[in-house]
Amino acid sequence: MFALVLVFPMIYIFNLMFKRELLTAPAGNRYIGFDNFVRLAGDERFWQATGQSVVFSGVSMAVSIPAGIAIALLISRRLRGTGLFRVILIVPMVLAPLVVGAMFRFMFDSDGFISWAFGLIGITAPSFLSIPGVSLVTVAFIDAWQWTPFVAIVVAAAIETVPPSVMEAARIDGANAWQELWHFILPQIRPLLVLVALIRFMDSFREFDKLFIMTNGGPGTSSETLPIFLWRHAFQYLDLGYAAAIGFVVLVIISVVSTIIVKFFRASKGVSE
Amino acid sequence: MSANIAPVRKTNAHQPPTSGNPASSTQKRRPPNYRKLWDIPRYLAIIAISLLCLVPIAVMLRIALTPQVDWRRMPIDWLQAADWSAFDRVLSGPFPGALLNSFIIAIVTTAIVIVLAAMGGHALARMRGKHKERFLFLVLGTRMGPAVVFALPIFLLASSVGLVDTYPGIIAVYIVYNLAFGIWMMHGFFLDIPPEVEEAGLVDGLSEWGVFRKLSLPMASSGVIATATLVFILTWNEFFYAFVLTQQRASTFPTTIPGYFGAFQVEWGSMFAASTLGILPPVIFGILARKWLAKGLSGGLVD
């Protein structure tokens, strides 16, 4: 069964990506060699989707990782009464991404909660989800909303294992809080941070649910990332051969990153042993 | 570090953070009090972040309990009496069936994955480094690989053998989607068991299977619970495979959500009532298993 559900799709994709397999006009379906890839290389919408995927992952990571580290520093102090805070942080992570998307689509609706909140401080809120470019970044922020607590909890656990002697050394050297973080804490947990960054990259790179429910790739194709682009070709245009070629490219990107993860994983194990 | 913080904690016990700005000039000379002073913005930050996490969920609950005419009225009237009509509507429609499907599919998937992952994880824990790294690729491929890429061939395969919109079809996909990660999680827990314990069991005349069942498995029981909880949550929340592979009979709770988004208007109250019911199991299980949640959500990559 394993082979069937895992190996079969791979073989199927490898076969399909060399074919013209357009179900809406099946008459011309045949093997066409690398034509799908040639078409992909010249497809502006593909490059746009790739760029938007990079922006989406980039924004999601650039928000969630620093914010997560900041929250980690906050909880690793173990202030009184913050046990409940650790429980609250769990909640965003366990929600179905689709529900998170639906929730924030309501919040960002025109004349909705967000524009009301902006109105309180006297700002007329733009309609975030209907401006090209802004909608992509907004959903990336929502992705960061869901996964910042994950970064925080993982980093906090790592900070708590930093030997007290390191912190002592920092204080004796007269380091301020910022220097303590930058020169003493972060270098200690560097391998873990790399791992967290890569996990966040892969998770945001394959994100489908939130974009699907919040913008469906729109307005136009302005928030269409690679997963949405692929889904459209496979399940809406029924252009299966082309979709397989897109899937192959996505897999290549993912495997390159996997290789990097495993390399760093090895490195981090080397440090800890 | 903890030794440094202990006295700070004690003084805090007597002075709640809301007691204003207690730093007199005499206190300012001693460094620990700077740190205590900094606790005030820290608590404010904690409150702000908690609100950021909880307000969207509170809004969802409030709208689910609001009559249709007020769904989009801002500001939200938090004190308005609860109106359960959205829940009534949701519960009298096809939604309970989807919820039941979610339960059946998630529980069967979890049960099968746990049995296989316990055995596989034990075997992996006794393997050497090189094989493990190869296995890690499999974990990443199945857990981190985008569902969108695999969904098309899986859909075509499932439809050729008549498994679209059936329990076995979607459960098989979920087992594969979770198994490698389950094995990887379990292997971490088996690694914590000293090999001497198992050797002692063999010396005492237990079979390999007996050692596994009577010694190793009970010692890794917290791992079994953690892995099971995570597989349940991931399966419960999964949308894309369910969206593609189920239509009606085997459709799970997330696949019902897009149905509330009509072309002209959105059934906000009903959608949020359905969402509220749908997020309860993972929230409860997530809080119970919070110790292992981060590890599990990272595919077992971080400890």
What is the domain-level CATH number for residue A191?
1.10.3720.10
What is residue B109's three-state secondary structure? Answer: helix
Q: Give domain status of residue A81, yes or no.
A: yes
For residue A60, the enclosing domain spans: 48-227
Residue type, B197: V
Domain span including residue B69:
2-88
Contacts of B133 in chain A (CB under 8 A): 262, 266
Around Cβ B116, how many Cβ atoms within 10 Å?
17
Using pLDDT thresholds of 50, 70 and 90, give the confidence band for residue B9.
Answer: very low
| Residue whose C-alpha is closest to residue B40's, from B70, B20, B56 | B20
d(CA A135, CA A91): 24
Residues B82 and B188 in one domain: no
A190 falls within a domain: yes
pLDDT at A256: 85
Q: d(Cα A118, Cα A112) in Å, to the nearest integer?
A: 10
Total count of domains within chain B: 2
B53, B152, B172 member nearest A91 (Cβ): B53
CB atoms B2 and A164 under 8 Å: yes
Residues of A in contact with B261 (CB under 8 A): 102, 213
Whether residue A67 lies inside any domain: the answer is: yes
Residues 6+ apart with CB under 8 A from B201: B210, B211, B214, B215
Residues of B in contact with A64 (CB under 8 A): none
| Residue B18 and residue B132 share a domain | no
Query: Of B31, B62, B88, which one is at a domain's C-terminal end?
Result: B88
For residue B303, tell me if it sits in a domain: no
- Specify whether the CB–CB gap between A191 and A260 falls below 8 A: no
Shortest CA gap B279–chain A (Å): 6
Shortest Cα distance, chain A CAs vs residue B5, angstroms: 8
Statement to judge: residues B107 and B232 lie in one domain: yes
Split at pLDDT 50, 70, 90, the class of B187 is: confident
CATH value at residue B191: 1.10.3720.10
Cα-atom radius of gyration of chain A, to the nearest Å? 22
The two structure tokens encoding residue B255: 């696949």
Chain A residues whose beta carbon lies within 8 Å of the beta carbon of residue B268: 106
Query: What are the b/e assignments for B52-73, b being 16+ CB within 10 Å?
Result: ebeebbebbebbbbbeeeebbe
Give the pLDDT confidence score for residue B24 in this predicted structure.
44
Does A160 map to a domain?
A: yes
Same domain, yes or no: B185 and B238: yes
What is the ipTM, given to two decimal places?
0.85
B158 with A216: CB under 8 angstroms?
Answer: no
Report the residue of chain B nearest A263, measured CA to CA: B133
Q: Is the pLDDT of residue B145 over 80?
A: no
B71 with B189, same domain? no
pLDDT tens string B128-142: 777 777 777 777 777
In a domain, B50, yes or no: yes
Q: What is the pLDDT of residue B303?
A: 63
Do residue A94 and residue B285 have CB atoms under 8 angstroms apart?
yes
Domain shared by B157 and B196, yes or no: yes
What separation in angstroms does the CA of A213 have from each of A181, A216, B233, B239? 38, 6, 20, 11
Amino acid, single-letter form, for residue B181: F
- Shortest distance, CA B183 to any CA of chain A (angstroms): 14
Nearest by CB to B290, which of A79, A90, A208?
Answer: A90
Which residues does B289 contact at the CB level (< 8 Å), separation at least 6?
B225, B226, B229, B230, B296
- B214 and B266, same domain (yes or no): yes
Interchain pair A107, B59: CB under 8 A: yes
- Residue A108's closest CA among A79, A138, A77, A140? A138
Q: Given this model, what pLDDT does residue B99 score?
A: 93
The answer to the question of residue A20 being in a domain is: no
Domain boundary among B62, B88, B114: B88
Residue recorded with tokens 């992996």: B124
Q: Which residues of A touch B150 (CB under 8 A)?
A: 9
> Could B302 and A231 be called an inter-chain contact, meaning their C-beta atoms sit closer than 8 Å?
no
Rounded to whole angstroms, the Cα distance separating B245 from B176 reads 15
Q: Measure CB to CB from residue A213 to each of B4, B133, B258 and give the nearest one.
A: B258
3-class state of residue A183 by DSSP: helix
Same domain, B224 and B137: yes
A6 found inside a domain: no
Six-digit token pair at B109? 């998937």
Per CB-CB distance under 8 Å, the chain A contacts of B60 are 103, 106
Nearest CA distance, B203 vs chain A (angstrom) = 30
* Least Cα separation, residue B185 to chain A (angstroms): 15
Among the partner-chain residues B42, B266, B299, the one whose CB lies closest to the CB of A79 is B42
Asked whether the beta carbons of B72 and B268 are under 8 A apart, the reply is yes
Residues B82 and B132 in one domain: no
Residue pair B144/A253 in contact (Cβ under 8 Å)? The answer is no
- Size (chain B), residues: 303
**Cβ contacts (< 8 Å) between A107 and chain B: which residues?**
56, 59
Q: Where are the alpha helices (DSSP H) in chain B?
A: 2-14, 25-28, 31-37, 39-64, 85-92, 95-125, 129-139, 147-160, 167-191, 195-203, 208-211, 217-219, 221-237, 240-245, 253-256, 268-288, 290-297
What is the per-residue pLDDT across B48-87, written as a single tens digit (0 to 9) for each? 999 999 999 999 999 999 888 778 787 888 888 888 988 9
Contact A206 B146 (CB under 8 A): yes
pLDDT at position B223: 86
pLDDT in tens, chain A (273 residues): 555 556 777 788 888 888 888 887 777 777 887 888 988 888 999 999 999 999 999 999 999 999 999 999 888 877 777 788 888 998 999 999 999 999 999 999 878 888 888 888 888 888 888 899 899 999 999 999 999 999 998 898 888 888 877 777 777 777 777 787 887 888 888 878 888 888 888 889 989 999 999 998 878 899 999 999 999 999 899 888 899 999 999 888 877 876 777 777 667 655 443
Binary contact (B146, A195; C-beta < 8 A): no
Contact B59 A106 (CB under 8 A): yes
3-state DSSP assignment of residue A224: coil
Residue A185, burial from CB neighbour count under 10 angstroms (0-12, 13-18, 19+): buried
**pLDDT for residue B2:** 38
Amino acid at B207: S
Question: What's phi and psi for B261, nearest 5 deg?
Answer: -95, 95
Q: Which of B50, B74, B152 sits opposite A240 (nearest CB)?
A: B152
CA B220, chain centre distance (Å): 20
Chain B residues inside the 8 Å CB shell of A91:
53-54, 57, 283, 286-287
Distance from CA of A20 to the nearest CA of B (A): 15
Sign of the C-alpha dihedral computed for residues B208, B212, B213 and B216 taken in this order: positive
**Does residue B171 share a domain with residue B103?**
yes
Q: Is A220 helix (H, G, I), strand (E, B) or coil?
A: coil
pLDDT recorded at residue A63: 96
Q: Which residues of chain B make contact with A80, given a CB cutoff of 8 A? A: 9, 12-13
Of the ranges A112-116, B196-200, B273-277, the best mean pLDDT one: B273-277
Query: Any idea which residue has 């985008």 for tokens?
Result: B146
The one-letter amino acid at A267: A
Per residue in B249-274, pLDDT (tens digit) is 888 999 999 988 887 788 898 999 99
Distance from CA of A271 to the nearest CA of B (A): 14
Helix (H) or strand (E) holding A168: helix A164-172
List of chain B residues whose C-beta atoms are within 8 Å of the C-beta of residue A8: 153-154, 157
Neighbouring C-beta atoms of residue B248, cutoff 10 Å: 11
The minimal CB distance from A107 to the residues B56, B145, B283 is found for: B56
Contact A235 B244 (CB under 8 A): yes
Token reading at B263: 């072309």
For the segment B227-256, the average pLDDT, to the nearest whole number, is 90
The total number of structural domains that make up chain A: 1
Res A105: pLDDT:
92
Task: Note whether B135 and B249 are same-domain residues.
Answer: yes
Q: Which of B65, B88, B111 is the last residue in one of the domains?
A: B88
Does B100 lie in the same domain as B187?
A: yes
Q: How far is B224 from chain A (nearest CA, A)?
A: 19
Q: Are residues B136 and A265, on separate chains, in Cβ contact within 8 Å?
A: yes
What residue type is assigned to position A182 of the chain? W
Cβ contact A217:A211 at 8 Å: yes
A4 domain residue, yes or no:
no
Size of interface A-B (CB pairs under 8 A): 231
Has residue A1 been placed in a domain?
Answer: no
d(CA B103, CA B111): 12
